[in-house]
Amino acid sequence: MNFTDLAQVFDKVDKTSSRLEMTQLLANVLKLADAGEAEIICNLSMGQLDPPYVGTKFSIAAKNMIKVLAGLLGQSDAEIKAKMDNLGDLGLVAASGQWQNEHSLTVQDVYDALKSIEQLHGVGSAEQKIRQLQELLKQLDPTSAKFVVKMVLGKLRLGFSDMTLIDALSWMATGDKGLKKDIEYAYNKCADIGLIAKMLKNEGVEGLLKLHVKLGIPIRPAAAERLPTAQAVMEKLGHCVAQPKLDGFRLQVHLDKTGPEPKVWFFSRNLQDMSYMFPDLTAAVAKLPVKKMICEGEAIVYDPHTKVFLPFQETVKRKRKHGIEQAIADFPLQVYLFDLLYVDGKSLIDESHMMRRETLLTILDNADAHMIPGAQNVQLSLLGAAEQPKVGDVVKAIDEKYMTDAQQLLNYFQENISAGLEGLVVKRPDSVYTPGKRNFNWIKLKRQEEGHLDDTIDCVILGYYYGHGKRANFGIGAFLVGVYNKFTDMFETIAKVGTGLKDDDWRDLKKRCDALKVEQKPKNVVCNKDLFPDVWVHPELVCMIRADEITLSPVHTANKTLEHLGFALRFPRFMGYRPDKLAKDATDIDEMKHLFKIQLMR
Catalytic sites, residue numbers: 245
Residue 480 carries which side chain, given as an amino acid letter?
Answer: L
DSSP 8-state code for residue 433:
P
C-alpha torsion angle, residues 283, 285, 288, 292 (rounded to 10): -120
Check if the beta carbon of residue 375 is closer than 8 Å to that of residue 396.
Answer: no
Residue 552 to residues 212, 460, 480, 561: CA-CA distances in angstroms? Answer: 44, 19, 17, 12
State the Cα–Cα distance between residues 238 and 233, nearest whole angstrom.
8
State the Cα–Cα distance between residues 464 and 458, nearest whole angstrom.
17
Beta bridge partners of 300: 334
DSSP 8-state code for residue 569:
E
Residue 599: CB atoms within 10 Å: 16
Residue 145 to residues 190, 329, 580: CA-CA distances in angstroms? Answer: 32, 47, 33
DSSP 8-state code for residue 324:
H
Strand 457-465 and strand 535-537: the pairing is antiparallel
State the Cα–Cα distance between residues 414 and 424, nearest whole angstrom.
10
Residue 452 has, within 13 A of its CA and on its CB side, a CA count of: 16
DSSP 8-state code for residue 451:
T
Residue 595 to residues 298, 487, 543, 590, 599: CA-CA distances in angstroms? Answer: 25, 18, 18, 9, 6
E strand or H helix that includes residue 129? helix 125-138
